[in-house]
Amino acid sequence: MSEYKKHLYAIMHPNRALVASQLEPLDFGRQYSVGTKRYYQGKILFAEVDPGFRNDYFAIDKFLEETVEHEDGSPKKTKIISSYRVLEHLDLEAIGSLYAVTVSGNTLKIDKAEYESDDSGKIRVFQEINPLQLLVATTMDHKSFGAQMTSGEYPKGAPKLFFTQLDLDVDAFLAEWEKNPFLPPPIPGVHPQKLSTALKALQEAKEPRTSTIGLASVLDKVVYRSLKRGFFLSAGDKMNYYPFPSVEELQRDHYAWYRSTD
């Protein structure tokens, strides 16, 4: 009998895949970031998937059977089950804890929690991560935004959506932009003038609105500390909410991860 437990992981970023592995989550995060022969430098986000989960879209049993130790007894690190349309075929209930990995391999486990909206009506900037990658500003809260994007009726949406929020003080940015036309971009790759125009239009909107402010992801251009609240995984009116621990807890228990520059 194998000494290694078999796991299912859904990689959310930088690629999108369902994989089997004999590595425990923290070891998997370290292997994927610094232990692989494939070159990659950036954030890694992956989630545990209930090993009992099954969907006819995936040949899970076949690949789990092939996930066995190497001849030298070392664990099988990664066995790709699928790398296409993965998220839409997973059930939110089967997706467990999320892991956020730094370039140096430090891995933070983030457990699911109940979602509560904050400051309804304010403007937020969301970075879509999987399967879409648009950068958007919206007057919706996280749950309403996720529900609209995954309703099946929104042309820019998807069956499920994994996203995060950038920590941008909209009022402070707009006030500073009025005083300083040479203000550097508060979001990498987004010109301040374009950003201010979109944000002002949202401020004047009477109904909830969303405006695209970037076509490419900026996730790997910002530090984890510049993300607000955590991560969100939506499917219709359902949501898995993955909140960051408090700054005090991060500094006390996860200092290397918190001070990482990625």
Q: What is the pLDDT of residue 2?
A: 76
For the stretch 59-87, pLDDT in tens is 999 999 999 999 899 999 999 999 999 99
Kindly tell me if the per-residue pLDDT of 18 is higher than 60. Answer: yes
Bridge partners for 44 per DSSP: 101
> In sequence order, what are the residues at sequence separation of 6 or more whose Cβ sits closer than 8 angstroms to the Cβ of residue 244?
110, 227, 229, 230, 250
CA–CA gap between residue 178 and residue 97 (Å, rounded): 42
In this prediction, residues 111-118 reach a mean pLDDT of 94
In this prediction, residues 104-120 reach a mean pLDDT of 90
Q: State the DSSP H helix or E strand holding residue 12, giving kind and residue range, or none if neither.
A: strand 7-13
Average pLDDT value for the chain: 94
Q: What is the pLDDT of residue 206?
A: 86
Kindly tell me if the per-residue pLDDT of 38 is higher than 70. Answer: no
Least confident of 35-39, 201-205, 236-240: 35-39
Q: What is the pLDDT of residue 219?
A: 96
Kindly tell me if the per-residue pLDDT of 217 is higher than 60. Answer: yes
Share of the chain above pLDDT 90, in %: 84
Kindly tell me if the per-residue pLDDT of 120 is higher than 90. Answer: no
CA–CA gap between residue 12 and residue 115 (Å, rounded): 20
As a dihedral over the C-alpha atoms of residue 150, residue 50, residue 80, residue 164, rounded to 10 degrees, the angle is: 40
For the stretch 157-189, pLDDT in tens is 999 999 999 999 999 999 999 999 899 999 999
Least confident of 35-49, 62-76, 183-197, 226-240: 35-49
As a dihedral over the C-alpha atoms of residue 101, residue 106, residue 109, residue 115, rounded to 10 degrees, the angle is: -60
Q: What share of the chain is helix, strand, coil (3-state, %, to 5)?
A: 25, 25, 45
Q: What is the pLDDT of residue 104?
A: 86
Confidence of residue 42 (pLDDT cuts 50, 70, 90): confident
Q: What is the pLDDT of residue 138?
A: 97
> In sequence order, what are the residues at sequence separation of 6 or more whose Cβ sits closer than 8 angstroms to the Cβ of residue 4?
22, 69, 75, 76
Q: Contact at 8 Å (CB) between 131 and 119?
A: no
- Residue with the larger pLDDT of the pair 215 and 41: 215
CA–CA gap between residue 181 and residue 19 (Å, rounded): 48
The sign of the CA dihedral 93, 96, 98, 104 is negative
- Residue with the larger pLDDT of the pair 75 and 260: 75
Q: Where are the domains of the chain?
A: 7-110, 124-258
Share of the chain above pLDDT 70, in %: 96
Kindly tell me if the per-residue pLDDT of 1 is higher than 80. Answer: no
Q: Contact at 8 Å (CB) between 125 and 213?
A: yes
- At 172, the amino acid letter reads A
CA angle 185, 219, 236 (to 5 degrees): 115
Q: What is the pLDDT of residue 19?
A: 98
Q: Contact at 8 Å (CB) between 120 and 212?
A: no
CA–CA gap between residue 91 and residue 240 (Å, rounded): 11
CA–CA gap between residue 84 and residue 49 (Å, rounded): 16
